[in-house]
Structure 1
Amino acid sequence: MATRIPQEFIDEVTSKTNIVDVVSRYVQLNKKGKNLFGLCPFHEERTPSFSVQENKQIFHCFSCGRGGNVFKFIMEIQDKSFPEAVVEVAQMSNIPVPEQFESAGNQQYQSSDSRVLLQMQADASKLYSHILTKTDGGTVPLKYLSDRNITTNLIDTFDIGYAPNNSNLLLEFFKNKNISEDILRKSGLFAENEDGDLFDRFRDRIMIPIKDENGKIIAFSGRILNKEQGVAKYLNSPETTIFNKGKTLFNLNLAKRGIREQKNVILFEGFMDVMSAYAAGVTNGVASMGTSLTDQQLYVLNRSTNQINVCYDGDDPGVEATYRALTQLNDERFTYGVISIPNKQDPDEFIRSSGADKFKQLTENSVQTPISFILSYFRRRYNLNNEHDQLEFLKQSLQEIVKLKSPVEIDMYVGRVAEELQVSKESINKELDNLRRKNAIEKPANNYKNVQKAKLEEVTAAVPEKFDRIEKSERNLIFWAISFPEIRVRLKGNDFKFVHQSYQKIFNSLISYTEKEGYDDDVNVSDFMNVLDDDCKNVLADVEMMQMPSEYNDDEIQDYISNIQNSDLEFKMTDINRQLKKAAMVGDNKLQLELTQELINVRRLLTSN
C-alpha cells in the first residue's frame, strides 16, 4: 500500500518545482509562442506535439492525449505511484524528504513479475558490489580496475561489482529469499546445464550494471579479467521482460544532462570507454548493446539532441566499425560527426596515455564531418599509385559527395579528391555532373513514395474536426469555470449538466475542490489535477492548452449553456437528417414529408429556447 503523504508536503514540492526543469531531463524543449514544445517521450513521432505550459505548470501531448502536472509526468515516464512521484520530484528539486515519506519512493516491487525482476537486479548488484569492495575475493578485480584508472568514485557511480567464480552463490542468495524457480529463469541472471539445473550466468567477471533511462538496473554486462581463448570479452544478460537491447543505451541515465549541455551525444563502442570518458569529464557518452542504433534508441536520443558523434577505436577494426555505423546512421533528424582516436588507440587507452584534458579537447574540437572521415577511409583502402584503385577511389568518393547539398562543402571535398588524384577540379566536377544526371534519370522510380505521401496528406487534410459544437461548448465552459468563480456559481445554481461524462466529472471535482480549499478566485490547475483520475487529467490538460482570450463574454457563455441544454434536440436533428437521406435513397416520398415536418418542428423548438 502506497504511503500517504500530507498535503502540506505536496504543496511545498509543487511550489518549489518548475515542471520545465523536470520535463527537460527527458525532452528537448523549444519555445514556440507562450509554450514549449518537444518530441513526446510516450510515443514515437517526427513532428513535436508535446507541449509544456510553464505558467500553468502542465504538459499535454496533442497526439497521444496524455497530459497533467509534474507528478503525472513522472508517474507516466517512470511507472511510479503518486506518492513515489512526489518523492521523486522532491529529490529532483533538492527538497529534503522527511524520513517517514522516503518509503513511498522505495516501495518493494511486488505488484508484478517486472517489479520483482527489477528488485532482483538491484539486489544482485548490491551483492556483487559487496564482494568487490568488502571481501578478499575482490582484491584481484579491484587491482584490475585500478590499473584501468577506474577509481573508487567511478566504481560507486556506476555500481560496479564482481561475480566470483562460484556457480551457485547468487542462486543460493535468491533461493534463501524464496524467489520461485519460474522467476529465477525469467531474471536473466542464471543459465541452465544439460540436466535443466540452474547456475549463475556470471562468474569471475567484473559486473557492470545496465540501467534504464531512469537509473533502474535492468541487466548486467560481465567483463573477463584476463583474455582467454574462446571466452567472450563481455557477457551481457539475455533479453527479459525488463531488458530490451534495442531500446536500451548504456549510461543514458547519467548522460542526459551532459547531452543537453553539450548539445550532442557521443556514441562509444564499449562500456569501459564510456566510463573512462565519464571519469575524464566527458559526460555525454553512451554505448549501444553491441548492435547498430535502432529506431527506438534514436528516438530516445532525439528528445535531447540532434547531433551524434561516433567515437570508436582508432585501430583498423574500429575504423571499419565507424564506417559501418555512418552508413547505417541515415536518420534525417540528426547530423553526424566522427571523433577519430589517434595512434590506433581506443578512447580508454588514449585517456590513460595522453590524459583527461587532451581527450576532452579531442571530443570538443576535433569532430570530423562524416564525408571527411569517409574520404579518409577510402584513402586507406585504395593504393593511389595504382590507376585501377585511383578510379575506384574517385567512384566511391563521388557517390558520397553527390549526396551533399551545400555548394561550399561540395567544392571543398571536390578539391580534396582532385588533390589526392593530382587532377583538375574541373574534370572532377564533370564526373560529378554525369553522376547527378544518372541519378536524376533513376529518380522517377521513387515516385511511388511521393504519390503515397501525397495521398496521406490528402487524407490528413480531410480529417473532420475533433469536437462538435456541443463538446466545444463544454470545453469552453470548463475553461472559464476554472478561471472565474462566478461561472462556477452560475452553472451550479442552474442545476446544469454536461453531456459528456468526463466534463461532468471534472466539474463535480472542481466544485468539491474549490469549496474544500475555499477558492474565491482562479484555480491552480496543476494542484487541482492531483484530485482527478488519469483520464480527466488528460482531458483537462487538453482544455487548458486552448488559445483563449483573457476575459469571457456573457453572451458566449449563455450560447454555450444553450447549446448543451438543447443537445437532445441537436442530436434529434442529426438523426432526422440521417433518416431523410435514407428515405430519399429508397424513394419513400411519404416518409420524407413526415420527416421534413418533424425537422421543422424540432428547429422551431431550438429557436424558441
Structure 2
Amino acid sequence: MTAMATRIPQEFIDEVTSKTNIVDVISKYVQLKKSGKNLFGLCPFHEERTPSFSVAEDKQIFHCFSCGRGGNVYKFIMEMENKTFPEAVIEVAQMGNISVPDQYEASNTQYQNSDSQTLLKMYADAAKLYSHILTKTENGTPAMKYLKNRELSDDLIQTFGIGYAPNNNNLLLQFFKDRDINEDILRKSGLFAENQEGELFDRFRDRVMIPITDESGNIIAFSGRILDKAASTAKYMNSPETEIFNKGKTLFNLNNAKKEIREKGNVILFEGFMDVISAYKAGVTNGVASMGTSLTDQQLYVLSRLTDKINVCYDGDDPGVEATYRALTQLTDERFTYGVISIPDKKDPDEYIRSEGFEKFQNLANNGVQTPIAFILNYFKRNYNLNNEHDQLEFLNQSLHEIVKLQSPVEIDMYVGKVADEMHVSKEAINKELDALRRQIKIQELANNYKDVQQKAVAAVTSTVKPKYNRLEKSERYLLYWAINFPEVRINLKGEGFKFVHQNYQRIFDALLSYVEQDDIDDDEINVSDFMNVLDNDDKNLLAELEMMNMPDEYNDQEIDDYINNIKNSDLETQLAEINEQLKKAAMVGDNKLQMELVKQLVDVRRILSN
C-alpha cells in the first residue's frame, strides 16, 4: 500500500468529515432507496438478491445485515477500494472537491510487500510507459496515426490512458528489472510470456494498449490491439487473469461510466472496447463492455447496484445480430429490464458514429431503444420465408413462445397484431394459439411447484433455527448501546468498575472511555462515525451493527439494572450449566455420593442467583 508523505492531522480529517455526507459517497457505488428512517441497497461486498445493506444518514454510518460489514465513510472506501485510512481520507476529500494540501498526498514512489499492491503499481507504471511511448516518441507515430484515423482526440487518448507497446521483446522486462522487481512477481504479473527455455519476454508487442481498470479506477489489465493487419495473430489480446484481474468480475469502462449509468438510469452494453471509447467520444458515456461473450452473474450483480436497465448495442452486421440474440437469451436476470439499440446499415457503433456523426448516435442511443421482443420477432423473420407454410408455422411457434413471456396486456395485444399482420391471419386465431400455449405452461408450472413444495416441507422438518444471541450477549449488546448514547449510563458503569464478559464488547467500551476523555470531544453526544476512526475493522463492524439495532429513544433504569445483573451473574449461570452436565454424568454411572454433592452445589448457586 502507498505510504503517506506526511501524517494527516486530525483537523483535516475533521474538516473532511464535517463536509461529507456518507450517502453521497456510497451512492457512487450503490443504488440506495429510502425505506423507513434509513436507505437500503444491494451490498457491494457480497452477492445478494434482497437489499440488506443499510445507510443511516443521521449517524453517518453503514451496515450490512447479511455479511456484517459496517463503519463510517472512510471504512467504506477502505473496504471498497483496498485503501489505507489516510488514502481513504484523501479519496473522500477529493470526491467532495475539498482541496488536499500537497504534503498529505499519497506517495507512490515505493513498492510495498503485498503482491497485489505491487502488481497494481506495476500496471500503473506500465501504462505510463506505454502512454509516454505513444505520445512522446517516434516509436509511437504509427500507433498515433491509427488512433487519429479513428478520430480519437488527444483528450480521449488521455482519458482512457491509451498507449503503445513497441515491437520489442524486452522493453518492459528491462524496465521492471531496473526497478528490482523479482522474477516471481514478473511471472505472476501477466505482463510477460515465456519461451521454451523458460526465459521471459514482453507479452504485448506492436499493439495499441488500452488499460482495463477496476471499479475504483486502478489499472488491472490491458487489451492490446494489433497494428499490423497482415500479422497472423489475434486482432485483440487481453491480459491473462492474475491476483488483481478476474475477467468474470470486470467490466471495461465501469469506473468512468458509473456516474452516468446512475443518472441516466441505464447502462449500454457494447461488444468491443473501441465501441465504448467511440461512444464516449460521441457523448454517450454510460457504456461498458464485458471481457467475454456474455455477462457473468458477478458482472450483473455489480450493474444491479447501479441500475435496473441494460441496453444491448452490438454490431449491426449478421454476426452482431446473432450475438445480440444470444445475449438476450442469456440475459434472464429478473432484476433488470432489457432493450436493444440496433445499428443501421450493418455498421458497428464506431463506423456509425464516424459516418453519421455524434448527434445521430446520441439520438439512437437515447430514443432508438427497441424492446427485446421487437428485436427477437425481427430476428426470427430474417430466418424464415413467410411465403412458405412450414416456415410460417415455425415463425408463429417461436414468436408465441416469446410473446407468452410478456406481462402487459397492451404489449401482448400489440405484438399479437404484428404477428397477425406478418402472417395475414386474424388476431383471434393467434390469441387461441396463445391461450393453448399458456395452458401447457401452467400444467408444467403446477408439476414443478408440487416438487418445490414437497422439497421445502422436508427442509422445514429437518432444519432448526437457533437464536442468534443468548441472554448474556443480548444484555451486553443493549447495555453497550445505551452506554454509547447516554453519558450517565457510561459514567455509572465506569464508577462501578464494570466489565463485559465478551472481549469485543469490552474493547469497544474501553475505547469509548478513552475517546470521551479527549479535550475536544463533547461527552454528552458521541459522534459515532468519528468514534469509529479509533476502532479496528472488526470492532467497527460490531459498532455499526449495534447502532443499526431497532432501539427506543430512551432507556429505563430497571432495564439497565437487569442487563448489569445478567452480565454479572453470567459466571454463576455458567456454573449452573456445568453442574447440571456433571449431574447427568454422575446419574449415568450411578455415583450417588457425587450426585448428592452436586445437588448441594446446585442449591447454593441458585440461592446466590436468586438474591
Normalising by structure 2, report the TM-score: 0.94
Gap regions ≥5 residues in structure 2: none
Is 2:36 the counterpart of 1:57?
no
Whether the aligned pair in 2 keeps the contact of 1:109 and 1:118 (CA below 8 Å) is no
Is 2:168 the counterpart of 1:166?
yes
Aligned AA (2:545): D
Cα distance change, pair 576–416 in 1 and its aligned pair in 2 (3 A): farther
Shift of 1:383: 0.9
Corresponding position of 2:128: 126
Cα distance change, pair 34–170 in 1 and its aligned pair in 2 (3 A): same
Is 2:576 the counterpart of 1:573?
yes
Partner SS, residue 256 of structure 1 = helix
Whether the aligned pair in 2 keeps the contact of 1:60 and 1:542 (CA below 8 Å) is yes
- Please give the per-residue CA displacement for 1:175-203, whole angstroms capped at 9, x wherever unaligned: 22222222222211122223332222111
Is 2:593 the counterpart of 1:605?
no
Cα distance change, pair 124–454 in 1 and its aligned pair in 2 (3 A): farther
Gap regions ≥5 residues in structure 1: none
Is 2:469 the counterpart of 1:467?
yes
Corresponding position of 2:532: 529
Cα distance change, pair 222–455 in 1 and its aligned pair in 2 (3 A): farther
Partner SS, residue 51 of structure 1 = strand
Shift of 1:298: 0.8
Corresponding position of 1:91: 94
Partner SS, residue 93 of structure 2 = helix
Aligned AA (1:531): V
Cα distance change, pair 320–496 in 1 and its aligned pair in 2 (3 A): same
- Please give the per-residue CA displacement for 1:75-115, whole angstroms capped at 9, x wherever unaligned: 111111111111111111111111111136x4744122222
Cα distance change, pair 495–212 in 1 and its aligned pair in 2 (3 A): same
Is 2:511 the counterpart of 1:501?
no
Distance 2:53 2:458 in 1: 26
Distance 1:566 1:280 in 2: 71
Cα distance change, pair 422–142 in 1 and its aligned pair in 2 (3 A): same
Whether the aligned pair in 2 keeps the contact of 1:485 and 1:521 (CA below 8 Å) is yes
**After superposition, where does 1:170-569 map in structure 2 within 5 Å?**
170-228=172-230, 230-443=232-445, 444-445=447-448, 447-453=450-456, 462-517=464-519, 518-569=521-572
- Please give the per-residue CA displacement for 1:527-548, whole angstroms capped at 9, x wherever unaligned: 1111111111111110000122
Aligned counterpart in structure 2 of residue 80 of structure 1, from 57, 78, 83: 83
With 572-581 and 139-148 compared, the bigger mean Cα shift is at 572-581
Is 2:16 the counterpart of 1:5?
no
Cα distance change, pair 31–580 in 1 and its aligned pair in 2 (3 A): farther
Partner SS, residue 290 of structure 1 = coil
Report the count of equivalent residues: 606
Distance 2:454 2:76 in 1: 39
Aligned AA (1:353): S
Aligned AA (1:395): N
Shift of 1:596: 6.1
- Please give the per-residue CA displacement for 1:131-153, whole angstroms capped at 9, x wherever unaligned: 11111122222122122121111
Cα distance change, pair 44–586 in 1 and its aligned pair in 2 (3 A): farther
With 355-364 and 597-606 compared, the bigger mean Cα shift is at 597-606
Distance 1:229 1:458 in 2: 65
Aligned AA (1:259): I
Aligned-pair Cα RMSD in Å = 2.2
Shift of 1:55: 0.9
Shift of 1:581: 6.6
Partner SS, residue 41 of structure 1 = coil
Partner SS, residue 386 of structure 2 = coil
Partner SS, residue 252 of structure 2 = coil
Cα distance change, pair 595–412 in 1 and its aligned pair in 2 (3 A): farther
Aligned counterpart in structure 2 of residue 15 of structure 1, from 15, 18, 21: 18
Corresponding position of 1:39: 42
Aligned AA (1:431): E
